[in-house]
Amino acid sequence: MANLAGVPTSGGATLLVNGMWTSSNRTFKRFDPANLKEETGTFAEGEAHHVQEAYTAAAAAAPGWAAVPPGQRGAILARAAELLEARVEEAARRLTADMGKAIRDARGEVRRSVAVLRYFANEVSQPMGETYPGSSVDTFLMTVEEPAGVVCVITPWNFPSAIPAFKLSPALAFGNTVVWKPAEAASGSAVLLTEILMEAGVPPGVLNMITGNGRALSPALTGDPRLSALTFTGSNSVGLRLRQAVADRNVKVQLELGGKNPAIVLSDADVDDAATQISRGAMLSTGQRCTATSRVYVQRDVAQSFCRRLVEEVERLTVGDPYQETTDIGPLASVEQCDTVGGYLKLAHDEGATLLTGRARYEDRDGDGSCLVTPTVLTGVSSDSRLMREEIFGPVVVVTAVDDYEDALTAANDTVFGLSAAIFTSHIGTAMDFIRRSRSGLVHINRETAGIEPHVPFGGLKASSSMSRELGKSARQFFTNSKTVYLRSPAE
């Protein structure tokens, strides 16, 4: 089903250290989540000594890469964008084989990765540093930027192409060297992107990539004294452990973590449009987005009509073979994710939630050898339920009727997370108030909670983020250090 002809798995030689592909004494296999009997690759199980060798290579390459003119670094990223664009179909099929994303969605992700590479290829040519007036006429005040140093990049499986591009592009553009640990499930896509970057001209040692088990490699990744900065996207529990692991050292940390993203639908909204947007935000990518819509608070007098339209939109989505062009929603990424989502659906059944569409129990994996799941809309869920408190990371959304905007806003903000939030209203004053009072790093007016663009900052509040931002000009702040310079001309 995967049809991965021409897609590299490198026969287990999937560790890139100092410009050389190498293998390990141990390997692991990955299987297509749409057909669990079909193997999609054999990859090296990296060990602690491989990570140490990667840090040694990155530290040795750091001075030379930092000295490369920014325009030349940008030209390498631009070349990588061209190479990836020429291989969109191959990269998309590799991505789908890794984690089951519907092929049209996978192509869109790869094209976003191309856009990110191009953005940072150009961003290196933008003004850097600042100048200030001084108290003395013979002293010039300015700031200059330098690379942060050796950066550890740890990326998740849900966006195997785009999130690595979010992190690797600015890290390399601004002169850092990298030790990259992709998620096991995304190993195939990681190998492909690494090959493209190396073909584009990234020098040996500047980018090092280690496949393998994240928990086993974590002490080596976080414990190396040459580590200058750590950027991670993934679960809150892992992110907190990583931050604690480097807390006693002067390591810059960038964490993008989970979300429990709300959408508010008011009675003055276009209910049809809101249902379409929320269906997309909750269900596409099989709900496996940290920005996915998870909770909906709808004003009571339009709740019935909204729920009817939402169910219609959800049931219109085609669930099935992710390689088919007509498919909207592919399988969950792995058996483990099936079990996680299944646990939440069992909880919904046990707690007596009302099922508007979907399945009260998870049964889709019985006998068909895939991780397909039915998109589910629930109502009648307590605000204290784990269904309302925890990130499900699957195509499940809970709808709750509320009396008015104030009730909706209070409920929307009642979460430890703060990544993305949306409101649907035709009243500009209400929209402006929501912008001010929503406790989320991303605020959407009359659009779904998911979806970002590379030239604007991305990040959450509260437990969703370390408060540092990715993408746009914010990326420069994390991947560089600033020096303040007092330049005085001595009297002749």
Instruction: Give the residue numbers annotated as catalytic, written as ranges.
Output: 256, 290
- Rama region for 12: left / alpha / beta (φ>0; ψ in -120 to 50; rest): left
Closest CA to 381 of 409, 404, 348: 348
CA-CA distance, 333 to 393, in Å (whole number)?
A: 10
Q: What are phi and psi of 215, to 5 degrees?
A: -65, -40
Pairing status of strand 27-32 against strand 15-17: unpaired
CB-CB contact of 14 with 191 (8 Å) = yes
Q: Which helix (H) or strand (E) holds 145?
A: strand 139-147
State the distance between the two ends of the chain, measured CA to CA, in whole angstroms: 78
- The closest alpha carbon to 292, from 425, 429, 396, 202, belongs to 396
Structural contact between residues 52 and 224, judged by C-beta atoms closer than 8 angstroms:
yes
Alpha helices in 288-376 (DSSP H): 300-316, 335-350
Rg from Cα positions in the chain: 23
Q: Are 164 and 193 in contact (CB under 8 A)?
A: yes
Q: How far apart are CA 284 and CA 278, in angstroms?
A: 10
Please name which of 163, 157, 74 lies closest in space to residue 112, comparing C-alpha atoms. Answer: 163
C-alpha torsion 18→23→28→34, nearest 10: 70
The one-character DSSP state at 124 is: T
> How, if at all, do strands 420-424 and 442-445 pair?
parallel
Burial state string for 146-162 with b = 16 or more CB within 10 A and e = fewer than 16: ebbbbbbbbbbbbbbbb
d(CA 187, CA 189): 6
What SS3 class is residue 326? coil
The count of other CB atoms within 10 Å of the CB of residue 97 is 31
